[in-house]
Amino acid sequence: MSIAEQLQRQHLAALTPYASARRSMSGDGVWLNANEAPYPPSLTTGDAQDAMLNRYPSFQSDSLNGAYATYASVATEQVLSCRGSDEAIDLLIRSFCEPGRDAIMITTPTYGMYAISAQTQGAKVIDVPLVADADGDLQLNTEAMLAALDSVKLVFICQPSNPLGNRVNREALKAFIKAVGSRALVIVDEAYIEFVDNSNQVSAAQWLNDYPQLVVLRTLSKAFGLAAIRCGFALANTDIIEVLRKVIAPYPMPQPSLQAATAALSTTNIARMQALVAETKALRDDFIQWVSRKPWALKVWPSVTNFVLISVPDAAQLVSDCAANGVLIRNQSAQRGLNNTVRVSIGSATEMQKLMEVLP
């Protein structure tokens, strides 16, 4: 029995997923199997892509999944594309957590949707907060995490961290995944991985073939600058992917999003993305140097992402003052252990100059 068969919600073992017309049969020829209108809509803009708007999109686009597999250095069969990594989070919980019985584990401070999605599905949430290491950096408390695994089906780890901006210790993460074994799935959320130096070499995706309990989440919303098209990916071994395919919607992504996402993964556009990431990292480092000299910046947290977390005397007031001057930053004070902190996303050079003019 595979780890996915062992951990999935019991009723899914006997579930035959909905077989949409496009999932069951597609290809060249006359398409008369999906109750579609035979003609494209009259609102055409003249773009050749509009000729397919009367057709349902692929259940899973071979072109997109193949392109992302190449980009992430994994097998195409290890890729599931979905409506942002938020949908992947929800799919994992719906697929593997029995409501009222099973739990997920989070490590606060962390991305809020893990807990929200679990609570929506009636799953319990077990929090094992990050702890400070010798350098004051917040890292996983792996010993406590392993001790709290009872009833946990899914462990969510944000790497790099949102909202902190730092990297999880790579060796500690690998040792934890190994120690978990078949007791749970470990989900490593790499939404910001492109901002880390040598991202493909340090990605947990390189461990997929060694650890069947591992799932890696990715997105085109951050480094690729495509938040509007809602395209994310779950990377996992095929048994887990097959369980998620039972639960995902019949047509999870609209055709324009599939086309834009596939185009973004061309060699030219990946190079363009990497150039923009390098520009963002330079602006981030310049901003960190600038803000670190401000007396009101009580702590500037280290960052390998496209944002910077700052501890300040009065976060609410600072956010309000910036908004009054036309610049929006985010108050993170509701996060465990982050009282009076703000998170600043790194914008364009012009936007960062405006921010620095507005900040005290």
Residue 318's SS3 state is helix
Query: Which alpha helices (DSSP H) does 136-235 contain, by range?
Result: 142-147, 170-180, 199-202
How far is residue 126 from each of residues 106, 178, 264, measured CA to CA in Å? 6, 20, 37
Identify the domain containing residue 310 by its residue range: 269-358
In a domain, 309, yes or no: yes
Angle at 79 between CA 75 and CA 84, to 5 degrees: 150
Q: What is the C-alpha to C-alpha distance for residues 280 and 285, in angstroms, rounded to an integer?
A: 9
Rounded (5°) CA angle 249-251-253: 105
Lowest mean pLDDT across 63-67, 165-169, 346-350: 346-350
Separation of alpha carbons 259 and 53, rounded Å = 12
What's the rounded Cα separation, in Å, for the pair 215 and 237?
8
The answer on pLDDT for 43 being more than 50 is: no
Burial label, 117 (beta-carbon count in 10 A; 0-12, 13-18, 19+) = buried
Q: Is 323 helix (H, G, I), strand (E, B) or coil?
A: helix
Q: What is the CATH number of the domain that holds 10?
A: 3.40.640.10
Domain count, the chain: 2
Do residue 258 and residue 343 come from a single domain?
no
Query: Is 155 a member of any domain?
Result: yes
- 157 shares a domain with 279: no
Residue 305 has pLDDT above 70, yes or no: yes
Confidence check: pLDDT of 141 > 60: yes
Do residues 141 and 236 share a domain?
Answer: yes
Domain-ending residue, one of 249, 265, 281: 265
Instruction: Tell whether 47 is covered by a domain.
Output: no
At residue 44, the pLDDT reads: 46
- Of the listed ranges 33-37, 60-64, 77-81, 305-309, the least confidently predicted one is 33-37
- Per-residue pLDDT at 199: 85
Mean pLDDT for the chain? Answer: 91
Element spanning 153, H or E: strand 152-158
Q: Rounded CA gap, 107 and 83, in Å?
A: 24
Tens-place pLDDT, residues 214-273:
999 999 999 999 998 999 999 999 999 999 999 999 999 999 999 999 999 999 999 999
State the pLDDT at residue 53. Answer: 79
Last-in-domain residue among 218, 242, 265: 265
Whether 41 is covered by a domain: the verdict is no
Domain boundary among 218, 238, 265: 265
pLDDT reported for residue 33: 62
